[in-house]
């Protein structure tokens, strides 16, 4: 659901109960459009997250740790100047809108006590974080809005802060049965109950309106004229009481594959019985679970935009070259026909004359000896026509050898690029993106990465897991790490796993010549399938001892050849299995 005013009310209720007069210990800016404040009260410390990005704007308490840039942005530095060591003395929600105002007690440069206000506006793409002084003048804003951007409302330092204009709607916590029925009677009967709720009452997300209509009528798109008015008000009144009593039921709805598809501060039933639901104790826990993967993917997309563009262009260019070369290879198959026609011309020289444009002869190369017609160049002698065809034959024969070599080179290049794309799709943090960018630089794509400066030192570690039998698995995060694991870290007696003919990570089982159980083999193979580009339910995974793995000279990072291998067909490891086997790394 959208982060509506009711969700804002739920978040602020949780914040006020857990962190009355919280102290601000740190201010961080892990994303361009997100500010995290580490707040402390009693023995508790949590993150207060202000996310004002266009995709998932929200305000929440969080326990999720995030990477921070090496150099703090200017807005973050300004917030540190104002609020480090300050206390949040109160929080309000003006006009039941998607706005939260945090009143903060702090000190100025001279050591005098001052009061400042942090305003968080969660309004879709217009979301913003604004700092005000005691007189409600704007001191700073994460997103500055000047006159060129908007002629209606400007957000500029020095201007008086103006609350965004609100439509004249009823605040949902104001109970008035008579007004409900009056508005319902005046509302066009052919329009849906959902439209009645969202157009009459402020701060209600569309999903919540659908849920209320579903509870009242059994359908989400029921017109007002087909809804029992008393039943409709009864459902709406129960929902109003939920807001007044602040008796929230944080819920996430998951699809069949375990992917979260919706969240709410109350139970959701209109999506049917085919979905799974999970109820959480706290609103913050629910939001952490729902947005964790979405935030990771968005962050990786932002940090890796240049790599994604480079890879997509390189893959398209390589596929285009391969298409041309494969067509040329097919054309080169005509070489045998050129030679056969040249032989037949030579055999018939005694009856051919210059100036002939074709002649008919028996094709002795065919068992049925059919009569065929061979075209000639009338400007050349019969002997010269034969020599011309022999030259074309030799050219095709050479082309087949050269094209086969070139096709193999470009097919390897395409496999390498696909492997890099696969690693990028599994990147979990900014360090993974940095290493992939460095790998592309080392692999000859330096000219494509404008202004790139290689890092002095890369210190990331591979993924680590423990099988049921106690064997450690090491999984490469990129192709350079794959090579390092296979040829430097692993011993000759360790086991090596990799998806068959599919880009993926090298998985090393540290067993030093021992023979693990079938369950250990299966778990290692399933991890290899998980960290690959495979999408099928059953994936073929090759495995062998490390001593059988060889790396051809001059080959791309991650490319190896091997023999004496076995193949297992396994299902990729699930999130639960990965979490169970994973070794916590600091």
Average model confidence (pLDDT) across the chain: 89
What tokens does 317 get?
A: 């260019």
Q: What angle do CA 94, 97, 102 make, to 5 degrees?
A: 45
Q: Is the pLDDT of residue 471 over 70?
A: yes
Residue carrying structure tokens 């099988």: 467
Using pLDDT thresholds of 50, 70 and 90, give the confidence band for residue 336: confident
Q: Is the pLDDT of residue 516 over 90?
A: yes
Looking at residue 31, its pLDDT comes to 85
Q: What is the mean pLDDT of residues 188-199?
A: 94
Q: Is the pLDDT of residue 462 over 60?
A: yes
Tell me, yes or no, whether 516 and 564 share the same domain.
Answer: yes
Q: What is the mean pLDDT of residues 38-56?
A: 91
Q: Is the pLDDT of residue 397 over 80?
A: yes
Looking at residue 50, its pLDDT comes to 96
- The answer to whether position 39 is within a domain reads yes
Per the CB < 8 A criterion, the answer to whether 307 and 425 are in contact is no
Q: Is the pLDDT of residue 256 over 80?
A: no
Looking at residue 482, its pLDDT comes to 93
Q: Structure pTM?
A: 0.67
Higher pLDDT, 531 or 111: 531
Smallest Cα–Cα separation from 434: which of 414, 452, 410? 452
Neighbouring C-beta atoms of residue 571, cutoff 10 Å = 15
Looking at residue 494, its pLDDT comes to 95
Q: What is the pLDDT of residues 402-423, one digit of tens each?
A: 999 999 889 989 999 999 988 8
- The answer to whether position 87 is within a domain reads yes
The CA distance from 103 to 30, in Å, is 23
Tell me, yes or no, whether 293 and 250 share the same domain.
Answer: yes
The CA distance from 420 to 269, in Å, is 42
Tell me, yes or no, whether 251 and 182 share the same domain.
Answer: yes
- The answer to whether position 444 is within a domain reads no
Q: Is the pLDDT of residue 586 over 60?
A: no
Per the CB < 8 A criterion, the answer to whether 19 and 44 are in contact is yes
Tell me, yes or no, whether 315 and 287 share the same domain.
Answer: no
Report CA-CA distances (Å) from 253 to 145, 281, 282, 284, 520. Answer: 36, 15, 15, 16, 34
Q: What is the mean pLDDT of residues 431-447?
A: 81
Q: What is the mean pLDDT of residues 349-369?
A: 88
Q: What is the pLDDT of residues 281-322, one digit of tens each?
A: 999 999 998 888 777 777 777 778 888 888 899 899 999 999
Per the CB < 8 A criterion, the answer to whether 259 and 290 are in contact is no
What tokens does 3 get?
A: 């982060």
Tell me, yes or no, whether 70 and 185 share the same domain.
Answer: no
Q: What is the mean pLDDT of residues 344-351?
A: 89
- The answer to whether position 427 is within a domain reads no
The residues facing 162 across adjacent strands are: none
- The answer to whether position 538 is within a domain reads yes
For the ranges 127-141, 166-180, 287-301, 557-571, the lowest mean pLDDT is seen at 287-301
Question: In this structure, what CATH number is given to the domain that contains residue 102?
Answer: 2.30.310.10
What tokens does 96 get?
A: 């039941």
Q: What is the pLDDT of residues 200-254, one digit of tens each?
A: 999 899 999 999 999 999 999 999 999 999 999 999 999 999 999 999 999 998 8
Smallest Cα–Cα separation from 213: which of 252, 246, 241, 184? 184
- The answer to whether position 457 is within a domain reads no
Tell me, yes or no, whether 406 and 475 share the same domain.
Answer: no
Q: For the chain, how many structural domains are there in total?
A: 4
Question: Rounded to an integer, what is the distance from CA 456 to the centroid of its chain?
Answer: 28
Smallest Cα–Cα separation from 575: which of 341, 387, 372, 293? 293
Tell me, yes or no, whether 476 and 389 share the same domain.
Answer: no
The residues facing 541 across adjacent strands are: 499, 568
Per the CB < 8 A criterion, the answer to whether 139 and 75 are in contact is no
Q: Which of 264, 299, 334 is the last residue of a domain?
A: 299
Q: Is the pLDDT of residue 360 over 80?
A: yes
The CA distance from 446 to 453, in Å, is 9
Report CA-CA distances (Å) from 145 to 50, 67, 148, 153, 374. Answer: 18, 28, 8, 8, 78
Using pLDDT thresholds of 50, 70 and 90, give the confidence band for residue 45: very high
Q: How many residues does the chain have?
A: 586
Tell me, yes or no, whether 295 and 315 share the same domain.
Answer: no
Higher pLDDT, 300 or 556: 556
Q: What angle do CA 450, 455, 458 make, to 5 degrees?
A: 135
Q: What is the pLDDT of residues 63-101, one digit of tens each?
A: 988 878 878 899 999 999 999 999 999 999 988 899 999
Q: Is the pLDDT of residue 448 over 80?
A: no
Tell me, yes or no, whether 16 and 131 share the same domain.
Answer: yes
Q: What is the mean pLDDT of residues 44-51?
A: 93
Q: What is the mean pLDDT of residues 104-130?
A: 89
The CA distance from 441 to 516, in Å, is 39
Beta-carbon contacts of 238 under 8 Å, excluding residues fewer than 6 positions away, are none
Tell me, yes or no, whether 409 and 485 share the same domain.
Answer: no
Looking at residue 67, its pLDDT comes to 77
Give the 3-state DSSP-derived string for 412-479, with helices as H, strands as E and coil as C: HHHHHHHHHHHHHHCCCCHHHHHHHHHHHHHHHHHHHCCCCCCCCCCCCCCEEEECCCCCEEEECCCH
φ and ψ at residue 417, rounded to 5 degrees? -65, -40
Q: Domain range for residue 275?
A: 177-299
Per the CB < 8 A criterion, the answer to whether 141 and 131 are in contact is yes
Q: Which of 421, 445, 474 is the last residue of a domain?
A: 421
- The answer to whether position 243 is within a domain reads yes
Tell me, yes or no, whether 39 and 116 share the same domain.
Answer: yes
Tell me, yes or no, whether 395 and 473 share the same domain.
Answer: no
Percent of the chain with pLDDT over 90: 58
- The answer to whether position 254 is within a domain reads yes
Q: Is the pLDDT of residue 265 over 90?
A: yes
DSSP annotation of 500 reads T
């Amino acid at each position: 659901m959208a982060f509506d005013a009711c969700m804002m009310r739920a978040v602020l209720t949780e914040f006020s109960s857990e962190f009355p007069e919280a102290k601000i210990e740190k201010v961080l800016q892990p994303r361009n459009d997100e500010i995290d404040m580490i707040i402390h009260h009693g023995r508790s410390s949590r993150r207060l997250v202000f996310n004002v990005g266009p995709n998932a704007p929200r305000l929440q308490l969080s326990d999720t740790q995030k990477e921070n840039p090496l150099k703090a942005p200017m807005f973050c530095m300004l917030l540190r100047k104002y609020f480090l060591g300050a206390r949040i003395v109160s929080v309000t929600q003006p006009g039941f809108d998607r706005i939260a105002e945090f009143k903060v007690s702090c000190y100025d440069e001279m050591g005098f006590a001052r009061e400042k206000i942090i305003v968080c506006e969660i309004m879709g793409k217009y979301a913003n974080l604004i700092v005000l002084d005691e007189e409600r003048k704007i001191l700073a804003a994460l997103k500055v809005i000047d006159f060129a951007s908007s002629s209606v409302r400007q957000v500029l330092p020095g201007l008086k802060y103006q609350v965004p204009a609100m439509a004249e709607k009823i605040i949902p916590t104001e109970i008035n049965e008579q007004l409900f029925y009056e508005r319902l009677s005046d509302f066009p009967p052919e329009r849906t109950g959902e439209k009645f709720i969202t157009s009459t009452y402020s701060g209600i997300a569309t999903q919540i309106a659908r849920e209320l209509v579903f509870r009242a009528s059994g359908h989400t798109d029921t017109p007002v004229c087909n809804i029992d008015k008393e039943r409709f008000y009864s459902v709406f009144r129960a929902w109003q009481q939920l807001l007044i009593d602040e008796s929230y039921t944080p819920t996430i709805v998951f699809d069949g594959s375990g992917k979260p598809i919706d969240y709410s501060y109350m139970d959701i039933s209109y999506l049917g019985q085919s979905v799974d639901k999970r109820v959480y104790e706290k609103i913050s826990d629910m939001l952490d679970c729902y947005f964790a993967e979405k935030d990771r993917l968005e962050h990786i997309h932002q940090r890796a935009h240049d790599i994604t563009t480079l890879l997509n262009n390189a893959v398209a260019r390589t596929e285009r070259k391969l298409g041309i070369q494969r067509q040329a290879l097919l054309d080169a198959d005509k070489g045998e026909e050129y030679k056969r026609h040249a032989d037949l011309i030579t055999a018939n020289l005694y009856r051919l004359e210059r100036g002939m444009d074709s002649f008919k002869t028996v094709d002795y190369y065919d068992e049925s000896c059919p009569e065929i017609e061979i075209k000639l160049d009338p400007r050349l002698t019969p002997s010269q026509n034969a020599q011309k065809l022999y030259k074309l034959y030799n050219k095709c024969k050479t082309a087949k050898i050269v094209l086969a070599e070139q096709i193999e080179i470009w097919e390897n290049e395409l496999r390498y690029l696909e492997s890099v794309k696969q690693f990028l799709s599994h990147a979990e943090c900014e360090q993974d993106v940095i290493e992939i960018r460095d790998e592309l630089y080392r692999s000859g794509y330096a000219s494509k990465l404008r202004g790139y400066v290689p890092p002095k030192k890369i210190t990331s570690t591979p993924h680590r897991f423990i099988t049921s039998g106690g064997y450690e698995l090491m999984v490469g995060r990129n192709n350079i790490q794959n090579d390092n694991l296979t040829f430097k870290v692993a011993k000759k007696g360790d086991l090596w796993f990799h998806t068959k003919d599919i880009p993926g990570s090298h998985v090393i089982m540290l067993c030093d010549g021992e023979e693990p159980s079938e369950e250990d083999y299966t778990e290692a193979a399933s991890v290899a399938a998980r960290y690959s580009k495979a999408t099928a339910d059953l994936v073929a995974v090759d495995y062998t001892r490390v001593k059988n793995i060889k790396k051809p000279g001059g080959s791309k990072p991650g490319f190896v050849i091997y023999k004496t291998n076995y193949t297992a067909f396994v299902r990729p490891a699930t999130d639960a299995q990965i979490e169970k086997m994973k070794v916590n790394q600091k």
